Structure 1
Amino acid sequence: MIHQNRKLYNENFSEEKYQLFLDDIDKSFNYKPIFKIAETPVFIPKELKTKLVDACNDIMEVINKPNFKELTNGAFFDDDRIVPNEDENSKFLQLDFGICEDEKGNLVPKLIELQGFPSLYFFQHLLGSMYRKHFGNVIPENYSQHINGMTPKDFVALLQQEIVGDTNPKQVILLEIEPEKQATAIDFYATEKALGIKILCISNLIKKGKELFYLDNEGKEIKILKIYNRIIFDELDQRKDLKTEFSFLDEVDVEWIGHPNWFYRISKYTMPLLKGDYVPKSFYLDQLEEIPEDLENYVLKPLYSFAGVGVEIHVTRKMIDEVTNKSNYLLQEKVAYAPIIETMDVPAKCEVRMMLLHNSKTNKTEIVSNLIRISKGEMVGVKYNKDKTWVGGSTGFFEN
């Protein structure tokens, strides 16, 4: 997005450098990520950085309202979704913005989705360091993945403080469903290395009354005090084959690092509650008084799905009429991503995830990192970018 940086990066790029970069990532944990890692980072200019920060602040004003929980109680489509011992703040928050152009050609972020759930915090840390290692000669030193003066060292220390804190790392687990088979496995391995915590499948939890345990490598029972939850409920619902002693509805003596209820409260369900320059118009389908005439400018989204499953980008009145469970759908104004990243063939579009974390010491939710997805397809996602180059997961370096 910053022309001089992009020109210099593209001129210095080679497939050989890119392959060495990928090989280095693979060697980090003797594991090859199954998702596409982009050939380039993204250079984010000051003006856009300011707008992204302003957009995050606008959204946090709503989430920080005293009645936010009351406003989002409808996000739980049945009582079997409510996990006991909910805390007062979402530990993790992800805000996804499509980067667009206004009528004057200025770059503007538009909110696509939001999540009260962890993201790839530690993989992004690794990715940023690898871009610097292999392409550092064309990434200015004063550009950073982080804002507000935070350094990579500060970032890791904050994550350690919030996920582990003073607890024995052996008594903190990262919880997933068959973690080694997940697309995000490399982030789990990076988290394990950085924090010294155990990666555990939910099927390996041992429940005794209100206490949870796991067996360490020596077969010794270790009592669990904290759970860094990475389980997506959509997947858990589908895995009827899993045999578990623990249910999320159980009352257990553990501290949730990222309480599961925030997965619902801060989600697509939140979109209609948000207003402002950086938020597209969004409506609960069952509360829509009149269907817009310009449906070509809208997308239809299921409220309870993950990774773009079920999203319709070519909406028709017939499609809306045929939805039987309208309370489970959202009609959202379409966001026109701008093709602003020059590549070796056609320009690419991008989506910027601002990664936030609630700091328990300051009692404030802070922007701590970012994740970027580069696309040349109709939507951001693997199936829309198959066989394309200069697309995939990336990170942004903000101009200071």
Structure 2
Amino acid sequence: MIPSIRQAYNKQFSTARYKALLQGLAGETGITPDFRVAETPVFVPAALHQQLLDAGNAINAIIARPDFKELTEAAIPKHQLVPREDAHPGFIIIDFAVTRNENGELAPRLIELQGFPSLFGFQELLARHYRRYMEVPPGMNNFGSGLDTHSYTALLQRTILAGHDPASVILLEVLPEQQKTLIDFVCTEKMLGIPTVCVSELVQEGKKLFYRRNGKLLPVHRIYNRVIAEEIEQHRALLGDTVNFQHELDVEWATHPNWYYRVSKFLLPHIQGPFAPKAWFLHEIPVLPQDLHNYVLKPLFSFAGQGVIIDPTPEDADRITDPENWILQQKVEYAPVIETPTGLAKCEIRLMYCWPDNAPAPILAHNLARLSKGKMIGVNFNRDMDWVGGSSCFFE
């Protein structure tokens, strides 16, 4: 998106350097990424960077409202309500499409948000390897808020460990060895010294939690939570009986499970601004828009894009029996703005915030980018394409 940098990058690119990048990722972690890594990072111009920061600040101001919990109480399914919720989420993730406004200028448009961690370990590794194997101008930065590698790691320690011994803090996931994000878990283990634990490995004694390692039961004082509750039920046959987190437990969370629901699609109708597409709860719309093809229907309680109706019809809306659990959101047109040797690519940028327990506000920590040449962002829409996949931004 910065023409001079893009042209220079494309000119120096070679398949050999890209293969060396992938080999470097696998060599440092012992894991081959189970998702496509893009051939290029994203070079973000200063004007777009500032718009992203402004949009992120506006959204975080809503999340920091004193009445935010009251506003989002209906977001949490009653059977998923977990006790001992803390004052604010430990992580906030906000996804923006890169678009062009009516003047043809680059502009971010909100797509999704979540009160749940992203690939904080892997993205640091990926950005570092782009610098190592590719041509990234030294004056561009992948971190947020004036951070560098050392202070970024310290921020993750504050947010995830919160002063606890790493041996008593666990990264909790559902069948982690089968997750596409396994490489991120390995990066996090190396960075923070915490073990990755499957929910099936937890042992409860009264209100205390333990995990098994080398035949021993070790205490759990804090959980770096990567569990999506729906996945526990999807894999119940493999997991068997697991700890019921709806019971009172003597454990801290980073981040508490309730924030996954509070900071989610549920919040989209409450967000206004030039960066925010129109969105409504389906049951609150008296009449459907006549240009319904310009909107998408999204179920509130789903993840990874499941259940989204891309080109809805009035009949689709009529078939929905729980309209209070759906939103209608204006479609966002991604702009093909990244020049590659095999055609233009579209881009989505994720801002990744940490919010330590004792911090007054969220802190922008890192970013994630996804490149696409298909109809939508995502692996299923970019099969057999190059210069697409997961990436990292470097900001002017």
Is TM more than 0.5 here?
Answer: yes
Counterpart amino acid of 2:388? V
CA distance in 2, matches of 1:236, 1:327: 24
Question: Where does structure 1 differ by over 4 angstroms across 4 or more consecutive aligned residues?
Answer: none
Correspondence for 2:217: 221
CA distance in 1, matches of 2:26, 2:373: 25
Correspondence for 2:109: 110
Correspondence for 1:339: 336
Unaligned runs of 5+ in 1: none
Counterpart amino acid of 2:108? P
| Partner SS state of residue 24, structure 1 | helix
> Is residue 2:263 matched to residue 1:266?
yes
Correspondence for 2:233: 237
**Is residue 371–residue 396 contact of structure 1 (8 Å, CA) maintained in 2?**
yes
Counterpart amino acid of 2:160? I
Deviates more, 1:281-290 or 1:234-243: 234-243
CA distance in 2, matches of 1:83, 1:395: 34
Residue 129 of structure 1 deviates from its aligned partner by 0.5
Which residue of the other structure, out of 187, 191, 194, is the alignment partner of 2:191? 194
Correspondence for 2:14: 14
| Partner SS state of residue 365, structure 2 | strand
Counterpart amino acid of 2:130? Y
> Is residue 2:205 matched to residue 1:208?
yes
Residue 360 of structure 1 deviates from its aligned partner by 3.3
> Is residue 2:62 matched to residue 1:65?
no
| TM value normalised by structure 1 | 0.97
| Partner SS state of residue 367, structure 1 | strand
| Partner SS state of residue 213, structure 1 | strand
> Is residue 2:395 matched to residue 1:395?
no
CA distance in 2, matches of 1:208, 1:362: 32
CA distance in 2, matches of 1:279, 1:103: 15
Correspondence for 1:32: 32
Counterpart amino acid of 1:380? I
Counterpart amino acid of 1:112? I
Correspondence for 2:118: 119
| TM value normalised by structure 2 | 0.98
> Is residue 2:48 matched to residue 1:48?
yes
Correspondence for 2:88: 89
**Is residue 204–residue 244 contact of structure 1 (8 Å, CA) maintained in 2?**
no
Counterpart amino acid of 2:182? A
| Partner SS state of residue 257, structure 2 | coil
CA distance in 1, matches of 2:59, 2:325: 22
Residue 323 of structure 1 deviates from its aligned partner by 1.6
Report sequence identity in percent. Answer: 45
CA distance in 2, matches of 1:30, 1:62: 41
| Partner SS state of residue 306, structure 1 | coil
Deviates more, 1:273-282 or 1:139-148: 139-148
Residue 183 of structure 1 deviates from its aligned partner by 0.7
Question: 1:18-57, CA deviations, whole angstroms, 9 ceiling, x for partnerless residues?
Answer: 0111011111121111100000000000000000000011
Question: 1:203-240, CA deviations, whole angstroms, 9 ceiling, x for partnerless residues?
Answer: 010100000111222x2221110010101122123222
CA distance in 2, matches of 1:338, 1:279: 16
**Is residue 335–residue 346 contact of structure 2 (8 Å, CA) maintained in 1?**
yes
| Partner SS state of residue 364, structure 1 | coil
Residue 245 of structure 1 deviates from its aligned partner by 4.2
Counterpart amino acid of 1:373? R
**Is residue 385–residue 391 contact of structure 1 (8 Å, CA) maintained in 2?**
yes
CA distance in 1, matches of 2:320, 2:161: 44
| Partner SS state of residue 187, structure 2 | helix
Residue 114 of structure 1 deviates from its aligned partner by 0.2
CA distance in 2, matches of 1:289, 1:201: 45
Name the count of aligned residue pairs.
395
**Is residue 371–residue 387 contact of structure 2 (8 Å, CA) maintained in 1?**
yes
Counterpart amino acid of 1:287? E
